[in-house]
Structure 1
Amino acid sequence: MARALLTRRTAVPLAALILAGLAVVAHLGEILLAHRGALDLHFFASLSLIAAVMAALTLLVHGRKPVAALGVIVFPLAAILLAVDVFLAPPTIPTPMDWQIKLHVTLALLSYALLSIAALLALFLAFQEPALRNRRWSRILQALPPLTLTESLMFKLIGSGFVLLSLTLLTGALFVQNLFTQHLVHKTILSILSWLVFGALLF
């Protein structure tokens, strides 16, 4: 995928997409091995899992829209976070969860991944708009998605992420006994603030 930033072509070879797909599978497999098949929500494990979901979603999005430049950022980031989780993070013991909590966590991970990709697209927009006005960085601009596509895709991802974040808060209210206990209060407040911010952007 990095070739798209070094040449004037934005199409990604099929072989690169296959390798990217294998990388996502390998990442998820390593997470399962490292955490003994359990869903571990400690800090570095969560970051690694979110990055893996981001990589998978980037591939899915690229199947419909030419967003190779996203992969140039997402895949190295995923590799770094996986390495930190496996080799540098202290050993942890996953907490047993029932299906309700697993559903809540899955919705949260998907929403965080979607909104993180949307944030990357927002950075693309912040770069593209002044670069187009000043007619600079033309080679990189040709590798990025068109400005209108970037903006449209960003708002679609924000919309999808907002729905999933809403479901995350709903399932948390239904299934988590006390969202404002000491170890959860900061996550709850940040999630509510994120929900308000992204809701304001959409509506």
Structure 2
Amino acid sequence: MIRLLLAEDQVLLRDAIQSLLQLSNHIDIVASTGNGSEALHLATTEHVDVALLDIEMPGLTGIQVAEQLKKGEEYDGKVALLTTFSRPGYIEKAMIAKVDGYLLKDEPIETLIESIVRIHEGERVISTDLQPLLFSLETNPLNEREVMLLHAVKEGLSTEQIAKAKHLSEGTVRNYLSSALQKLHVTHRHEAVRIAKEKGWM
């Protein structure tokens, strides 16, 4: 029996997936949560074989949880991401994190169960619909500081507010944001935020 952790922040969807997975004779859901930080804790305390993680969660994202589980010594199970998103940036981060599976939520439950079993047996499973994206991945051109400042722009902060919040000079903020705009081939900050989010780079 595969001991599974299910982490999904939408309660109705989590309950639905849990109910369907429990129909399998191969899977025992030993823990579930809607919070990434709690998922990280449960994965290392509940003797989990496979951690099935939604990408976008409060606390920590599924990718952040996956990165920590894969790097840590307290967890020796498998890690799979479950998502509705096919953004190249997410797939790139997932591959860098060396996750064992990247699965789509809208697949038939039989396919999801089969994928979990295959992942538990040591295979690396990527949903069929996502595989073409592996051959057209775009590397994120933004550095960490540029991503951080675009998050601040997304929050509606002005250059002056960003500078105060991040303990930078206004000139430094403008330079980093200008660099981000150039890399994304746009002229407006909010357009840069939109593209970076669509690509899964922030």
TM superposition score normalised by structure 1: 0.27
The structure richer in helix per residue is 1
Which structure carries more strand by proportion?
Answer: 2
TM-score (norm. length: structure 2): 0.27
